[in-house]
Amino acid sequence: MSQDLTAELCASVTAAIAAATPLCLRGGGTKDFLGRRCAGRPLALAGHRGILDHQPRELTLTARAGTPLREIETALAEAGQCLPFEPPHLGPGATLGGTIACGLSGPARPHAGAARDLVLGARVLTGRGEVLRFGGAVMKNVAGYDIARLMTGAFGTLGILLDISLKVLPRPEAVRTLVLDCDGDEALARLRALARRPLPLSASCHDGERLWLRLSGAERALAPAAAEIGGERVEPGRAEDFWGALVREQRHPFFTAPGAPLWRLSLPPHAPALALDDPQLIEWGGAQRWLRAAHPAEVVRAEAARLGGHATCFRGGDAMHSPFTPLSPPLLALHRNLKQAFDPHGILNPGRFHAEF
């Protein structure tokens, strides 16, 4: 089903400006738990949907923001292609717009690029009630400011994504998963060593007991790489379930167990092990560390900063307080200026990203 709701959405924003009524943007609702709690009148976006253009030879796809991720992935699979950043759905109603607005990427992120890296262009409805187009639908179109990528990860605070153009890639010819028994320290050492080798790695994860490694590419390249790495080869169905359902969709017992809040730490890949003795899951070659910890936020963030990164409370925190690392004064000023430029009336997802806006 394809439906263009641009006119209706423009009218809603114009009315909200006139009435000084904030809007809480909502696509499929699968990522409502991310960020701060938004205060405002709900504005449904999932009805604005449909794939507008797919150029398999050009490796590009353009779709309306409300298009379900499953619909896009099905269309790409029929052409032997995929979204290279493996976006997490985190629920059956996940949409393209919500995925890009939250800036989430899956297991392949360090090897294929982040969501932001693969956005070519976007059509955006700003908080001024203006429809603007940034970037293009082809990879060679790089004119102007890269505002489309700025919208990635902005949580809808700068504009309502209407249409998004993405780079897509062919599905790999072959995929193989290996698993090795080791603790977290050994896993980090192995990952650092593997990063220095020209190996076709496409994902990595240490689940607390074992290191899982995924190889993707031509079959003739996987066999020698697997022999060099060693470990046990995982049956394809089990491997697909691990990388998809358990890791990307966070159904692994590490994620689903009740208890302490779930923290996401973004660190340099070479960073050593955390000094916090809490359950952890390591992804992205060591660059993404998931932590289950009930420590005060200041403790977790101080540890992330010590290792050269930052920490976000992903689930289980207080939705009325910021799950994000507080911005430095210069960065806060930059965010404030961007908000003023794109949403001067402060009606788009106020408070979702920062208490002030």
pLDDT above 80 for 357? no
Can you tell me the distance from the alpha carbon of 45 to that of 315, in angstroms, rounded to the nearest whole number?
A: 24
Residue 140 clears pLDDT 70, i.e. is over it: no
Q: Is the pLDDT assigned to residue 143 strictly greater than 70?
A: no
pLDDT at 169 over 90: yes
Tell me what pLDDT residue 54 has: 97
pLDDT band at 13 (very low <50, low <70, confident <90, very high): very high
In this structure, which long-range contacts are made by residues 331-334, counting pairs with CB atoms below 8 Å and at least 24 apart in sequence?
none
| pLDDT top residue among 275 and 138 | 275
DSSP-assigned beta bridge partners for residue 177: 214
127/133 Cα distance (integer angstroms): 14
Quick one: pLDDT at residue 322?
80
**Residue 192, pLDDT score:** 96
At 283 the pLDDT is 98
Q: What is the mean pLDDT of residues 188-217?
A: 97
Rounded CA separation 255/62 (Å): 33
pTM above 0.75, yes or no: yes
Q: Does the pLDDT at position 229 exceed 60?
A: yes
pLDDT(79) > 90: yes
Q: Classify residue 238 by burial, with Cβ atoms within 10 Å: 0-12, 13-18, 19+.
A: exposed
Q: What is the pLDDT of residue 175?
A: 97
Percent share of the chain, pLDDT over 70: 96
pLDDT, average across residues 226-238: 96
**pLDDT tens string 288-310:** 999 999 999 999 999 999 999 99
Specify the range with the lowest mean pLDDT, choosing from 30-44, 137-151, 180-194: 137-151
Q: Tell me what the pLDDT averaged over the chain comes to.
A: 93
Confidence of residue 158 (pLDDT cuts 50, 70, 90): very high
Average pLDDT over residues 71-80: 97
CA dist., res. 188 & res. 182, Å (int)? 10
The answer on pLDDT for 145 being more than 80 is no
pLDDT at position 319 is: 52
Q: Which helix (H) or strand (E) holds 6?
A: helix 6-19
CA 332 – CA 108 distance, rounded (Å): 31
CA-CA distance, 24 to 1, in Å (whole number)? 25
Mean pLDDT of 10-15: 97
User: In the predicted model, is pLDDT for residue 141 greater than 70?
Assistant: no
With a cut of 60, say whether residue 139 has pLDDT above it. Answer: no
* Banded model confidence at residue 147, pLDDT cuts 50, 70, 90: confident
* pLDDT bracket for residue 131 (50, 70, 90): very high
> Considering Cα of 100, then 40, then 38, then 46, what sign does the dihedral take?
negative
